[in-house]
């Protein structure tokens, strides 16, 4: 019996450690906060300014985003819409996919559900994982997606990073270490916060109903608490004469 348990435990343990090791370097923790509207607004602004030139978010309408993120439609129209005039439009991209394939060798995927497909931590890691690599036509490579065709769009904000050689990898196997070589317009923590906002926005775009659920959830719980109080008072009232 004990032997069987040991074998099962060993099997579970080994399959878990295989699963952890199979997906490449350990991901960074995105640690997003979906209830932080300001973070989502900053993420939306970064997205339209830096990503929408190549990536669409075909399932997302500007009007819906304005309502969910508590932005005025006028503000969205004048500051965030570059490919259309209509607030009811979805987030399309101006570039034709064939051109993208010709210029970059890969078509930038639609990012509507990328966070659901790949996970928030992966996108956060990907955006923080670019490092200089002169052998690549884009001049960069990525720890989490080796050989990616995507250039490091946010390099001006982050600055340049370099892959540490094996010997000075202090992380002890927890993913490769990247060292800043030149500073960007943001500090390290500012860049991490900016990419965190961006990932939060991607997660929201992947499932806009989540925000509605949070809102409704709050009122449902409040209602239940009030109901609980009322029920308790009623119970006290009924049992008053029994004791
Ligand atoms: C110059 C065009 C361009 C811009 C701008 C751009 N990307 Fe990309 N992106 C690409 C291309 C091309 C790919 C496909 C890469 C590949 O498969 O090698 C890609 C892929 C991706 C992927 C998928 C990676 C994967 O593992 O499949 C994510 C996530 C992504 N981009 C996020 C972003 C975000 C966020 C921004 C804005 C900060 C952005 N991209 C801006 C060109 C761009």
Query: Using a 6 Å cutoff on CB, does residue 54 contact ligand 1?
Result: yes
Give the model's pLDDT for residue 193: 97
Angle at 108 between CA 123 and CA 30, to 5 degrees: 5
Place of tokens 């669409």: 56
Contact 182, 132 (CB under 8 A): no
Which ligand 1 atom sits closest to the C-alpha of 46? 38
Q: In the predicted model, is pLDDT for residue 46 greater than 90?
A: yes
Q: Specify the higher pLDDT residue, 175 or 105.
A: 105
What is the whole-number distance in angstroms between the Cα of residue 126 and the centre of ligand 1?
9
CA–CA distance from 190 to each of 164, 183, 194 (Å)?
22, 12, 6
Q: In the predicted model, is pLDDT for residue 210 greater than 70?
A: yes
Report pLDDT digits (tens) over 92-140. Answer: 987 888 888 888 889 999 999 999 999 999 999 999 999 999 999 999 9
Residue 166's pLDDT band (cuts 50, 70, 90): low
Residue 12's pLDDT band (cuts 50, 70, 90): low
Query: Using a 6 Å cutoff on CB, does residue 53 contact ligand 1?
Result: yes
Contact 180, 153 (CB under 8 A): no
Calculate the dihedral angle through the C-alpha atoms of 133, 135, 138, 143, rounding to the nearest 10 degrees: -40
Residue 70's pLDDT band (cuts 50, 70, 90): very high
Round to whole Å and give the CA distance between 123 and 225.
38
Portion of the chain with pLDDT greater than 90, in percent: 67
Tell me what the mean pLDDT of segment 67-84 comes to. Answer: 91
Query: Using a 6 Å cutoff on CB, does residue 55 contact ligand 1?
Result: yes
Residue nearest to atom 13 of ligand 1 (CA): 108
């Amino acid at each position: 019996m004990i032997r069987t348990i040991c074998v099962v435990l060993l099997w579970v343990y080994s399959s878990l450690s295989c699963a952890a090791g199979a997906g490449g370097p350990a991901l960074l923790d995105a640690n997003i906060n979906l209830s932080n509207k300001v973070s989502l607004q900053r993420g939306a602004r970064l997205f339209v300014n830096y990503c929408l030139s190549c990536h669409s978010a075909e399932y997302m309408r500007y009007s819906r985003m304005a309502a969910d993120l508590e932005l005025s439609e006028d503000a969205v129209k004048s500051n965030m819409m570059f490919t259309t005039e209509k607030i009811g439009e979805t987030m399309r991209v101006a570039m034709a996919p064939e051109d993208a394939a010709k210029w970059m060798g890969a078509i930038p995927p639609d990012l509507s559900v990328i966070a659901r497909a790949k996970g928030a931590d992966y996108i956060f890691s990907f955006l923080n994982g670019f490092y200089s690599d002169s052998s690549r036509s884009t001049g960069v490579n990525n720890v989490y997606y080796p050989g990616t065709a995507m250039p490091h769009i946010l390099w001006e904000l982050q600055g340049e990073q370099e892959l540490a050689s094996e010997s000075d990898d202090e992380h002890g196997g927890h993913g490769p270490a990247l060292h800043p070589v030149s500073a960007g317009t943001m500090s390290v923590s500012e860049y991490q916060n900016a990419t965190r906002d961006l990932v939060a926005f991607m997660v929201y775009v992947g499932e806009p109903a989540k925000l509605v659920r949070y809102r409704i959830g709050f009122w449902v719980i409040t209602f239940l608490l009030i109901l609980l109080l009322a029920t308790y008072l009623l119970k006290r009232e009924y049992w008053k004469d029994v004791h």
